[in-house]
Copies of this chain bind each other. A is one copy, B any other.
Amino acid sequence: MNRFWVTSKGFKYSVNVGRGAWRTFADFSQDRYSAIFILTEKPLWERWGKRFLRDSSLKKARALFIPSGENSKSMRMAEKVGADLLRQRADRRSLLVALGGGVVGDLGGFVASIYMRGVDYVQVPTTVLAQVDSAIGGKTAVNVRAMKNLLGTFYPPRLVLAEPEVLTSLDERSFRSGFFEVAKHAILSGPGLFQQLEGETSSLFPKRAGGLAETLAQAAKVKVDVVSRDEREAGLRRVLNLGHTFAHALEEASGYKRFLHGEAVGWGILIVLRLAELLGAIDPAESRRIARLLREIGPLPGLRDLPVRRILKLLPQDKKAVGGRIHWVIPERIGKVRISDQVPMRLVATAFREVQRGG
C-alpha cells in the first residue's frame, strides 16, 4: 500500500493506493462528521458494498444511488442528489463518499462542492482511469449537452482510496481503456514507469489487477506530483492534457458512444505523436516505441469515417483553449513534453488524416 500526499491550497490530503487501501479509511477521523453518505451505482454497490463497509469500518453510512453512465453527469442529477441529501438531513458537517468510476467521482465531487456551499468528500475510485487520474486533483464536473465538463469546480477531496481488487470485476474493455491513461502518465513520467508498463501489456486482464498494483500506484503518483505542484492548471497541470484535445473532439463527434474515454485518449496520443513527428519535435524511433505500447494496450474503435473538418471544428471549443487558441501538449521523448499554442492547423489536419488512414 502506497500513501502519497497531495498538497492542496488549503490543506493536504492523502492518496492511498494499493491492496488494503480501503482499510486505511479507519485511520481517517470519522467522528467529526454528523453523518456519512455514499454516492454510488447499484450494481457496483451490490458487488462491493459489503466489502467496502467492512474494510472501511463504516457501519452507519447510507448509500445514495445514481444510474450508471455518462448521462448522470448532469446538472439535473446534481440537483437530484442534493435534494436526496437534504431529505436524509445531510448538513454542512456531513461527509460524502464517492464510490465509483469517473462519473460518480466527478458528479460526487461537484455535489460535495456545492451542497450547502461545500461539504467534505472522499474519493473511492473503482476504475483504472479513476484510480490513476480522475479521482486525484479535485476537478469536479458535469456535462452540458454535448460539452463535457463545461460546469464544475476545483474542490479537492479529503482522502482518496484506490483499492486494486475492485478492478477485478471490470469488463476487459473498460479495464484496458484505463491503461491508455496509465500510458499517458508513463509518457509524462519517464523511462522507469514506461518500461515497467511495456513489460506488462500481455497481462492487462481484470482478474490480474492485483499484480498490476505497483504500476497503478506509480501512475497515480504521476498525477499526485503534478497536481501538488499546480492545483489550478494554470501551468504545469496542462501536461496532463496530453492526448485530450483530440480525445474530446473524437468523443463529441461520435456522440460519446463509440469510444470509451481512455480509448479516445489513446487515439489522441497517437495523433499528437504524429503531429510531434511532423513538427520535428520527436525522434521517429521514440515515437514508434510509444505508438507500439499504445497499440499493445488494446484495440481501438475505428475513426476512418469521422470527417476531418468536423473534428477540427470541435477542437477549439475545448475549454483549455484561451481566446480561441489551442494549447497542444507535444511529446518530445519519454519523460518530456512541451506545450505549444503555435501549431499550424494545416499540420494538425495532416496528422489526423495520416493516423486516420492507418487506423
| Interface size range of chain A in the complex | 20 to 34
Binary flags per residue of A88-115, CB closer than 8 Å to B gives 1, else 0: 0101110000000000000000000111
Copies assembled = 2
Which residues of A40-94 are within 8 A (CB) of B?
75-76, 78-79, 82-83, 86, 89, 91-93
Are A145 and B75 closer than 8 Å at their CB atoms?
no
Q: How far is the CB of A90 from chain B (nearest CB, A)?
A: 10
The listed residue (B117, B147, B324) touching A141 by CB distance below 8 A is B117
Binds B, one of A151-159, A252-260, A305-313: A151-159
Binary flags per residue of A312-353, CB closer than 8 Å to B gives 1, else 0: 000001010111100000000000000000000000000000
Contact residues of A: prevailing secondary structure: mixed
List, sorted by A's number, 23 A–B pairs whose CB atoms are closer than 8 Å.
A34-B322, A75-B78, A75-B79, A79-B144, A79-B151, A82-B151, A83-B144, A83-B147, A83-B150, A86-B147, A86-B150, A89-B324, A91-B319, A91-B324, A115-B150, A116-B151, A116-B152, A116-B319, A117-B139, A117-B141, A118-B153, A118-B154, A153-B153
Query: A-side interface residues toward B, CB under 8 Å?
Result: 34, 75-76, 78-79, 82-83, 86, 89, 91-93, 113-118, 139, 141, 144-145, 147, 150-154, 317, 319, 321-324
